[in-house]
Amino acid sequence: MKILLLGSGELGKEFTIAAQRIGQTVIAVDSYENAPAMQVAHGFEVINMLDGEALDKIVAKHQPDFIVPEIEAIRTERFYDYEKQGITVVPSAKAANFTMNRKAIRDLASKELGLRTANYRYATSAEELQKGVEAVGMPCVVKPLMSSSGKGQSTIKTAADIDKAWQYAVEGSRGDVVEVIVEAFVKFNSEITLLTVVQNDNPTLFCAPIGHRQERGDYQESWQPAKISDAALYEAQDMAEKVTEALGGAGLFGVEFFLADDGVYFSELSPRPHDTGMVTLAGTQNFNEFELHLRAILSLPIFEITLEKAGASAVILASENSTNPTFTGIEKIAALPKTDFRIFGKPTSRPYRRMGVALVNDTLDTAIEEVVEKAKAAAGLVKVIAN
């Protein structure tokens, strides 16, 4: 099978490796050369994926069996035409369109499916944002409708923050959508990602819940399994199954939830492997999230997903701009027991850009907090050097 991968970052790279292992052909696409997935794919294309005509040309050129989006900034309305041509869009054209824009997925979850979410409003100007803040109250969170890795996300605590939040959201927005969502702050105790695997001809499966900590709207550490009550886990699984069923298609979805005293809140959904799910590269499961996504796409039956170990991931961040970053401390992290790492191979760095990840595993009876601290310490050994 030939797969056209739209977006070629670190998640796409691991997906490509999984595909290569079972003989699939991958063409990696991104807006810059030498993106991580391009380094391991059979071929690559460099285009602006918001240019619909350019997208049409590479689809016609490669005639893929599958189109697998990895990022948000894609002219996703073209996907419906590709499906009519007999190409499988992953998970589906509808899922890709709805989840690339926070407005569509939030309205589906809240208004159509009746899932519990934070109170929210939309805004297309600083003035509308002001009204939205008045409606949901402070503190509240502002996010661009199209963004990734926390770009453009901020918290409004006072009226003085509103204009700054609007400008930051516009600057961090991907695509040509200049609109934001403002959400009431949920007093949550923790947040989880529930990796949900939708199969074409077999039951939907769930990975053990993944906990994570964020800064600047981007994950810093993730761990599996996360602590959650049986009742809350059942509620989260029920919500995840409802929303993924409504979106259609097959593949792995990263469904995010807040766990609060009054129950589980649906937060966001990604129709693809999730950054917090990189913890599965630590060997926590019988299949990592990239292998699960691939198998579900190809309709290879997945009998079960088993939790094998406790694990944690911690990001390795750059602190400076560089066109040729190098790394120190690799030998130190390599010498640690039950520890692994990934260097993504991004050709440039900038402050807070995710350049790699440290991975730690241990037995299931090990306190997860201990595993997380080991991952954080391991990540701290590696430094990104600007050249």
Q: So which residues are the catalytic ones? A: 148, 150, 256, 268, 275-276, 354
Question: At 231, is the secondary structure helix, strand, or coil?
Answer: helix
Q: What are the b/e assignments for 81-91, b being 16+ CB within 10 Å?
A: ebeeeebbbbb
Question: At 217, is the secondary structure helix, strand, or coil?
Answer: coil
Q: What are phi and psi of 274, to 5 degrees?
A: -105, 145
The single residue listed with the structure tokens 């009054």 is: 262
d(CA 227, CA 243) in angstroms, rounded, equals: 23
CA distances from 268 to 113, 254, 284, 333 (A): 14, 8, 23, 33
Q: Specify whether the CB–CB gap between 148 and 71 falls below 8 A.
A: yes
In the structure encoding, which two tokens stand for residue 110, read together? Answer: 């809240």
Q: Specify whether the CB–CB gap between 20 and 47 falls below 8 A.
A: no
> What is the total residue count of the chain?
387
The set of residues, in sequence order, having a beta carbon less than 8 Å from that of 111 and lying 6+ positions away, is none
Q: Specify whether the CB–CB gap between 278 and 340 falls below 8 A.
A: no
Question: Within the chain, where are the H helices?
Answer: 10-21, 52-62, 79-84, 93-99, 102-107, 126-136, 162-172, 230-247, 289-297, 330-334, 368-380
Q: What are the b/e assignments for 115-136, b being 16+ CB within 10 Å?
A: bbbbebbbbeebebbbebbeeb
In the structure encoding, which two tokens stand for residue 383, read together? Answer: 């430094």
